[in-house]
Structure 1
């Protein structure tokens, strides 16, 4: 039963896994197998953790840790400590997270478990990153990356590269130096792709797009963010797809703003060109508000040039779009 539960868990079939592991836990308790009981509790806690059910996860893991300590199974106890630390980290409870992860790292070091120790080091680096403590974060994540490479753990290596890229993006954004960030993120993306981690790869693609956007390199940004949006949609990550859509919208708004500036300066041909381009792009990404606003300004441009039939057509279309999306202010064309 325990093995079946673990198989369901590895296939992300959490309901079936929970059922099997709960039954297995009861059986182990009936026959007095404390290690089997603790392992089931540990797996159940991890399943809750993966589903962001932190109170249930914490309860199971503390019970599992206690059982492991009673039978002096130090690896199991250290693994529970590690996940408990990550749970605190995910809830921004950094002092508790640091304490748990340091204890877990110490235990892993004592029993010679290099993977567990370096994973704790990675999590500690991420905590420093989340608190904007960049020098400590870079030190820990660089050390973790080196250790992952030594033990041949490509996923861990890629995750560290990704985090280091994010840090350098944040640091170098203020200094307008993105080269190292781009290099780290490109390397991380390659690693994620080679090990088949689509979520990790598309996150890198998204960040690369955002870096190009901040450098006003809009064609590159649009390319990266469009690809990332499609990938997010394919893997069912609606939040990631929405974030890409938002950034693409920001880019096209900047382009429409340039058109509006030309309009205010009575530079109507330049304004028309930019607004038509922006409208087209908004329509491609199905951002109806932006497209309607472009139509509205294009109508005003025709009006200013006494081209009334074209103005009426554009403004009516804009009004229809504003009505469809419930934008009452825009609809008063």
Structure 2
């Protein structure tokens, strides 16, 4: 009950008490299941290190007692954790393995969740055809089992996919996300409503409708903070920083981005940290603080390289080249452009 109401600290206390009881009773299945639930709560709080450790322990216990469904559920959640940390190759492998197991068991709900997560992964890798295919399959399965939240999640992600692609009309993306938002509202899913609000704000940001974007994203940020959702709150701060940067309000932009970076570091989301360094590089370069800009772009390039985001690595080298050129450091600039 506490979990469904996003009262996560209370849910953690209940789960820890349950584990103590189950250890005494020697009920290994119940012990493993309560550990898995605890890992889920940590995941929802963006506490990925604790989530990974707890779910891995639960997975080992499920394996020990021969509960294959429990093993698959842990595998799926570990895949989601790696997805949120930007460890995409590991996440795809885990989620694909879990998907096969759920299909073998005939567990349509869990299989659909795996398809949804894979779709999200492919979207973040800008593999939009694969992403759309996964999400459409997931939506069909959610519709068959009448899971309205699952359908809303799919609509939301489809809206994100269309919004990410320049050749699609942003009005189409807005329409799909608004439809998802209404469905989330109907089923009382406040987190889903806030996620849609944030994405609609991002679309307004990309359209240059800055005042509307700031209002929507600020409202969404407050809701995420209320839910204790650190990842989404950090993404709102990043979006607000981008908005202020484009308005040349550099002090406000720097404040937002540094707050976002701190939160991304706390939850271990490496791509978010790299994104923040990149934006800080833009901010410093636009203010002719070239040494600071080079430092930020270099940090971002190394982090993107560590997590395998090759296109973003190239972007960093490109901006390093531009910044070196502005400093009349032509050899360094040439080297950076060559690497890009």
TM-score by length of 1: 0.64
The aligned length equals 243
Structure 2 vs 1, CA of residues 19 and 228 (structure 1 numbering), >3 Å: closer, same or farther? closer
Q: Could you say which structure has the greater relative contact order, defined with CA pairs below 8 angstroms and 6 or more residues apart?
A: 2
Q: Counterparts in 2 of 1:1-333, with a 5 A limit?
A: 7-171=1-165, 173=166, 175=167, 177-216=169-208, 218=209, 222-223=211-212, 225-230=214-219, 232-233=221-222, 236=225, 239=234, 242=237, 249=244
CA distance in 2, matches of 1:176, 1:59: 41
For the 8 Å contact 2:198–2:220, the answer to whether it is kept is no
Q: Which moved more, 1:114-123 or 1:142-151?
A: 142-151
CA distance in 2, matches of 1:241, 1:52: 15
For the 8 Å contact 2:197–2:217, the answer to whether it is kept is yes
- What is the CA deviation profile of residues 171-203 of structure 1, one whole-angstrom value per residue up to 9, with x for unaligned ones? 1x2x36324322212211221221222332233
CA distance in 2, matches of 1:245, 1:93: 26
Structure 2 vs 1, CA of residues 246 and 48 (structure 1 numbering), >3 Å: closer, same or farther? closer
The two structures, once aligned, show a CA RMSD in angstroms of 2.8
For the 8 Å contact 1:81–1:101, the answer to whether it is kept is yes
Cα deviation for residue 90 of structure 1 reads: 1.1
Structure 2 vs 1, CA of residues 153 and 179 (structure 1 numbering), >3 Å: closer, same or farther? same
* Runs of at least 5 residues in structure 1 that lack an aligned partner in the other structure: 1-6, 255-333
Cα deviation for residue 161 of structure 1 reads: 1.3
Moved over 4 A (4+): 237-254
Structure 2 vs 1, CA of residues 243 and 195 (structure 1 numbering), >3 Å: closer, same or farther? farther
> Counterpart of 2:73 in 1: which secondary structure?
helix
Cα deviation for residue 8 of structure 1 reads: 3.9
For the 8 Å contact 1:226–1:244, the answer to whether it is kept is no
Cα deviation for residue 29 of structure 1 reads: 2.5
Cα deviation for residue 76 of structure 1 reads: 1.7
> Counterpart of 2:149 in 1: which secondary structure?
helix
CA distance in 1, matches of 2:21, 2:223: 41
CA distance in 2, matches of 1:127, 1:157: 18
CA distance in 1, matches of 2:212, 2:169: 21
Larger radius of gyration: 1
- What is the CA deviation profile of residues 118-165 of structure 1, one whole-angstrom value per residue up to 9, with x for unaligned ones? 000110111111111111011111111121122111111111111111
